[in-house]
């Protein structure tokens, strides 16, 4: 599974400043990858271009998969006319019911299934939103700050669970948490803006899986590399 962005040019309508000029990057297969960079550098815009929600002024996105990439962000809502449990039932394909039950358990959402979305905390809302994407039949899932407002321990548990449950999925994680990105992601594309060349730099993350030992000094080197690149 290969996802390539080739020679992407883009400026937001009505602005003079180019956001991307000849941006090239690629993801070479399943796993946990990331976009990293300061606010406003174009991480979400690039996600929108990849999923077809924005049209690039030039260049192309090449993805050979059967299903288009999905994009989820932390400001989505579920309608409040029924409980989150009922919502999940309705949007879960029959083949994914077992998976849904496991995810609900792993994400710590079991006691909340009878609640309405508006009755949940922000972290709980983000978790339930992520679950409904994970039960879809996806190949690529872009997660834009999807675990914002979730506590550190639960985030780690969720990331490790996702990595073991979806070995065939290609995830692109957008986050400002450098340690998290460096620890759990394999390919980290650091977006740097137009004033620096090249506009995107690839850093190899530690790609930690459940049960593996984390080499602290190697992690620090990756984090330094990311911070220097940004």
Among candidates 172, 120, 126, 181, which has minimal Cα distance to 151?
A: 126
Q: Does 136 bind another protein (CB under 8 A)?
A: yes
Among candidates 226, 147, 131, which has minimal Cα distance to 187?
A: 226
Which region among 71-79, 103-111, 169-177, 191-199 touches another protein (by CB under 8 A)?
A: 71-79
Nearer to another protein, 80 or 220 (CB): 80
Alpha-carbon span 32 to 130, nearest angstrom: 15
Q: Does 89 bind another protein (CB under 8 A)?
A: no
Structure tokens that stand for 54 in this block: 């924005």
Q: Does 9 bind another protein (CB under 8 A)?
A: no
Alpha-carbon span 39 to 210, nearest angstrom: 30
Bond into 198 cis (ω within 30): yes
- How many residues sit in the footprint of another protein (CB under 8 A)? 18
Which H or E run includes 129?
helix 122-134
Interacting residues of 218 by C-beta distance below 8 A, sequence separation 6+: 206
Q: Please identify which residue in 6, 99, 116, 196 interacts with another protein, judged by CB under 8 A.
A: 116
Which region among 1-9, 64-72, 174-182, 197-205 touches another protein (by CB under 8 A)?
A: 64-72
Q: Does 71 bind another protein (CB under 8 A)?
A: yes
Q: Does 115 bind another protein (CB under 8 A)?
A: no
Q: Does 187 bind another protein (CB under 8 A)?
A: no
Shortest approach of another protein to residue 63 CB, angstroms?
Answer: 15
Q: Give the binding site for another protein (CB under 8 A).
A: 51, 70-73, 75-81, 91, 116, 129, 132-133, 136
């Amino acid at each position: 599974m290969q996802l390539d962005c080739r020679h992407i040019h883009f400026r937001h309508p009505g602005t003079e400043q180019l956001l991307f000029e000849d941006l090239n990057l690629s993801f070479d297969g399943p796993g946990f990858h990331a976009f990293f960079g300061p606010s406003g550098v174009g991480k979400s815009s690039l996600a929108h271009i990849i999923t077809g929600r924005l049209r690039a002024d030039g260049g192309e996105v090449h993805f050979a998969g059967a299903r288009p990439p999905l994009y989820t962000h932390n400001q989505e809502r579920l309608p409040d006319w029924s409980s989150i449990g009922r919502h999940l039932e309705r949007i879960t394909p029959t083949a994914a019911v077992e998976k849904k039950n496991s995810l609900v358990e792993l994400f710590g959402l079991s006691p909340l299934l009878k609640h309405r979305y508006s009755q949940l905390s922000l972290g709980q809302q983000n978790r339930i939103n992520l679950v409904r994407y994970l039960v879809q039949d996806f190949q690529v899932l872009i997660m834009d700050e999807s675990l914002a407002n979730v506590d550190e321990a639960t985030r780690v548990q969720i990331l490790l669970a996702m990595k073991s449950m979806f070995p065939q999925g290609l995830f692109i994680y957008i986050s400002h948490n450098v340690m998290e990105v460096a620890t759990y992601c394999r390919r980290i594309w650091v977006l740097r803006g137009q004033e620096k060349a090249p506009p995107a730099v690839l850093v190899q993350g530690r790609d930690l899986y459940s049960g593996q030992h984390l080499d602290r000094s190697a992690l620090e080197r990756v984090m330094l590399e990311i911070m220097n690149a940004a």
